[in-house]
Amino acid sequence: MNLSTLSAPIGVFDSGLGGLSVYQHLQAQLPYERVIYFADTLNVPYGNRSAQDIVRLTELAVSWLVHAGCKLIVIACNSASAYALERVRTLYPAVPIVGLVPALKPAVLASQNKQVAVLATRATLEGELLARVINEYATPHAVKVIKYFDADLVPWVEAGMPTDAPPAKRLREMLNVWTGQGVDFLVLGCTHYPFFRPFLEQEIFHKNYNLRIVDSGKAIADRVVSLLKQHKMMNRNSSDIVARIEAYSIEDVVHRPAKVHTDLQAPALQFYYTDISHEAETLQQKVKQLLTGSTNF
Ligand code: DGL
């Protein structure tokens, strides 16, 4: 492995801001890696789209990240992983690609009541990956899996999660319903959702519910660390990472090759987005706000 590959960026893809919840874990475990983030803000949310549409959009995003020179790619989107993970792995066999599936396995193994709820998008709940985990873990352990989706949750996160909005009210109600049904584990099966985990935990604490929450963020970062080690691609040169976040719009995903910043002064996180009607400055602020947890609950 040559030096330029070691310092090549990691690619992270999501339909919008949600993948930043995975980035937080990557950054904590891999502070010396530079990340190129592709947010398909023009087409978010993916959760209500057809499988065909999700595959098409994921192929475009991953192709863009591959051409940007990423040494490893994380599809930080459960909905995209559910339909397109195998496809992009086939298209780009030389690049390790990590996908996401709701963290049902640890919830199933730890549930005392044998009842867990999975909160995810419709696409993820209907996808093949989740069905496989249910068959492999929940069914043999006789654990009941309650699936729930609310199409407004992803737009709510993208909008900064105002606590007086209807999705917040519905989440409070659902915590009550699940607890009443004996659910003792709630799986957050969408990368947007960890951003409102503090909101859920506050409610659980105040109402004294017997409910624990799990998400996939840390396990994904662990997997990335182990793949980088396995492929001997870990960047150990701390000096060439500048702790800065910058946002840039992508004018043309299909025809223009990615022109990412790779010089020594390149920021640690380059946040590329597809809805060019948005101001880079505004996006940059939103990204920073989510990463520093400065959302008020
Ligand atoms: N963060 C994506 C996921 O994990 C969001 C899905 C969407 O865009 O609906 O599924």
pLDDT per residue over 127-181, tens digit each?
989 999 999 999 999 999 999 999 999 999 988 899 899 999 999 999 999 999 9
Q: Which domains does the chain have, with CATH numbers?
A: 3-100+218-292 (3.40.50.1860), 104-215 (3.40.50.1860)
- 């599809």: which residue's tokens? 75
Judge residue 100's burial from the number of C-beta atoms within 10 Å of its C-beta, 0-12 exposed, 13-18 middle, 19 or more buried.
buried
Q: Which tens digits make up the pLDDT trace of 64-114?
A: 999 999 999 999 999 999 999 999 999 999 999 999 999 999 999 999 999
The stretch 31-60 carries a mean pLDDT of 96
The stretch 119-131 carries a mean pLDDT of 96
pLDDT at 4: 67
How far apart are the CA of 246 and the centre of ligand 1, in A? 22
What's the Cα-to-Cα distance from 16 to each of 47, 158, 220, rounded to whole Å? 11, 7, 18
pLDDT at 3: 54
Q: By percentage, how much of the chain surpasses pLDDT 90? A: 83
How far apart are the CA of 280 and the centre of ligand 1, in A? 22
Atom of ligand 1 nearest to the CA of 77: 4
pLDDT at 255: 80
How far apart are the CA of 17 and the centre of ligand 1, in A? 9
pLDDT at 297: 63
Among 206, 110, 109, residue whose Cα is nearest residue 198 = 206
296 or 247: which carries more pLDDT confidence?
A: 247
User: Which residues, 6+ apart, have CB-to-CB distance to 4 below 8 Å?
Assistant: none
pLDDT at 256: 74
pLDDT at 6: 83
Do 76 and 14 contact (CB within 8 A), yes or no? Answer: yes
Atom of ligand 1 nearest to the CA of 19: 1
Atom of ligand 1 nearest to the CA of 45: 8
Minimum CA distance residue for ligand 1 atom 8? 45
Q: Which tens digits make up the pLDDT trace of 215-261?
A: 999 999 999 999 999 999 998 766 667 778 999 999 889 887 777 88
pTM: 0.95
pLDDT at 42: 96
Of the ranges 37-46, 49-58, 201-210, 254-263, which one carries the lowest mean pLDDT score?
254-263
d(CA 204, CA 218): 22
d(CA 62, CA 59): 5
Determine what percent of the chain falls in helix, strand and coil, rounding each to the nearest 5: 45, 15, 40
Residues with CB under 6 A from ligand 1: 14-16, 18, 44-47, 77-79, 121, 124, 154, 190-192
Catalytic machinery residues: 77, 190
pLDDT at 37: 97
Residue 280 has pLDDT above 60, yes or no: yes
Residue to substitute in 22, 42, 46, 153 for testing ligand 1 pocket (most ligand atoms within 8 angstroms of CB) = 46
